[in-house]
Amino acid sequence: MKFEIIGDIVNIEIIAQGNGIRDLPLLRKQHELGNWRKKKGIALLKLPDGSIAKAEIHWYEAHGIGKVKLKIKEWL
C-alpha cells in the first residue's frame, strides 16, 4: 500500500542491525554496502484515498542511503 508520512516519526527504536537483519544480502545487492539497521516507529500517514491514520511502521536505514522499504506493520 502506498502512503505518505505526515510530520515526524516518533518512538523510533532499532529492532535489528548488522548480521541480525534477515534481508541484509538483499539490501546490499539492491542498494549498496552500509551500516544497515532495521527500525520501527509511530507516524501519521496519508493514504491514497486521502484519509489520515496512525500506524506503526518498519523500515531499513543506512547512513548516507536513508530510509528504504517502509511498510505498515500495525494500525493504531
Residue 46 identity (one-letter amino acid): K
User: How does pLDDT run across 3-33, given as a tens digit for each residue?
Assistant: 999 999 999 999 999 899 999 999 999 998 8
pLDDT value, residue 32:
86
The SS3 call for residue 31 is: coil
From residue 50, alpha-carbon distances to 3, 7, 47, 55, 57 in Å are 10, 16, 5, 15, 18
Total-model pTM: 0.88
Q: Write the DSSP string, 33-60.
A: S---EEEEEEEEEE-TTS-EEEEEEEEE
User: Which of 41, 36, 15 lies closest to 24, judged by CA?
Assistant: 36
pLDDT value, residue 27:
93
pLDDT value, residue 33:
87
